[in-house]
Chains A and B, each alone.
Chain A
Amino acid sequence: MEHGSLTDLSSSTFSLIDEDHTLANSVRFTLNQDPRVQFCGYSIPHPSDNKVNIRVQTTGDPAKDVLKDALQNLMLMCKHVRTTFDDTVNDFRATEKVEHIDINSDR
């Protein structure tokens, strides 16, 4: 749900249902990376309702597009974290196994 003015597309508030700090804080962080963003913040109107309000104000570009780009960036960042993590864990497991083999062969 987007609340914004019809004439000024560069600032609007997005209300997301069924979300909480997990997504909102990360989206706010990626929005901050974007140089087109003048102001961005999020608030939770009431902790019992599962709603999040994200406010985006840009330097001219429509706020919808900027938010979409930020979400895409977040997805790519998470994908990268996942691949890095998988590689690191596999390397760690491989080196652990090698050590085990070495110990056994010494005996």
Chain B
Amino acid sequence: MGVDNSVTLESFCKNLKIEVIELTEDTMEFDMIGIDASLANAFRRILIAEVPTMAIENVLMVNNTSVIPDEVLAHRLGLIPLNADPKLFEYLSEHDTPNERNTIVFKLAVSCKKGSPRLTVKSDQLKWLPGGSELEMESPTPSAKPRTYTSFSRSQDSMPEFANKPLGVKHQDIIIDKLGPGQAIELEAHAVKGIGKVHAKWSPVATAWYRMLPEVILLKEIKGVDAEKLVKKCPVNVFDIEDVGKGGKKAVVANPRACTLCRECIRGVNEPQVELRRAKDHFI
């Protein structure tokens, strides 16, 4: 394989280098050097499938007279990304009661009056209910105090973690539904913690991928007119001209990172001048 497999833990720790290329709120690009493909792939798989997030799971419908059926509307609600830190919540299993530590409750109540134009229901109309569910369950004894679908012992407003950052949806302009005149939606949505393996709505990333750094090696020195031709061939400007004394020009590899391995530089030339490979332990 050309790779020494007897690497030990200390040499791994010494050789590992991570460089961050780009970091914004929504995307990140970084390089890992000195790591093996199996570990890089494991990180990618874990990012997609096993990092927990919060997403809407149970939807209690009170009224839905829109054209979109109940289950499709519930499916759409589940896919909306929420602005909630999953580390502050616990998992909810089948036997637990929903309480303020494992559920977030949202309410959506929209109606379109007769005579007004079509109304678009956007995700900013999902209101957070910090006090828990407002819908009452049917209780066997009518005189007893009505129970709601969640048993919040205290309002989530009062919890210190949520004091500064109210919970809500991440993007305010996601279209959930469209209502014609006389149609209405009233529902309550409960969001719980889960991982992407169970359902893709709980996957925290839109996607995650990696590629290995391409290595472009010039087998021979390419000078003069050939050098300029080579530079022109590459669609992403991997090569560059370096001026060697006496007006001669030499081609050098300036930006191997941008190489997409399209092999344009090899086409049309009779003898092999350029070799394209991938660096076995450099992952982008």
Contact = CB atoms under 8 A, between A and B. Distances in A.
B92 interface: no
Interface string B1-40: 0000111110011001111100100000010100110110
A33 B18 contact: no
A25 interface: yes
B229 interface: no
Interface stretch (B41-49, B117-125, B209-217): B41-49
Contacts of A88: 18-20, 30
Interface stretch (A60-68, A72-80, A99-107): A72-80
B9 to A, nearest CB: 6
A16 interface: no
Interface residues of A, number: 24
Interface in A80-94: 80-81, 84-85, 88-89, 92-93
Contacts of B19: 88
Contact of B9 (A26, A76, A85): A76
A35 interface: yes
Contacts of A35: 6
Contacts of B32: 81
A88 B28 CA distance: 13
A29 B20 contact: no
A80 B45 contact: no
Given A89-B23, A92-B20, A33 B41 contact: no
A81 B36 CA distance: 12
A72 to B, nearest CB: 9
Interface string A1-40: 0000000000000000000111101101100110100000
A77 B39 CA distance: 10
B45 A22 contact: yes
A76 B8 CA distance: 12
Nearest to B19: A88
B39 A33 contact: no
A25 B41 contact: yes
B26 to A, nearest CB: 15
B9 A73 contact: yes
Contacts of B23: 89, 92-93, 96
A32 B5 contact: yes
Contact of A26 (B12, B17, B39): B39
Interface of B: 5-9, 12-13, 16-20, 23, 30, 32, 35-36, 38-39, 41-43, 45-46, 49-50
16 contacts: A20-B45, A21-B41, A21-B42, A22-B50, A29-B39, A33-B6, A33-B9, A77-B39, A78-B39, A80-B16, A81-B16, A84-B16, A85-B18, A88-B19, A89-B20, A93-B23
Interface of A: 20-23, 25-26, 28-29, 32-33, 35, 73, 76-78, 80-81, 84-85, 88-89, 92-93, 96
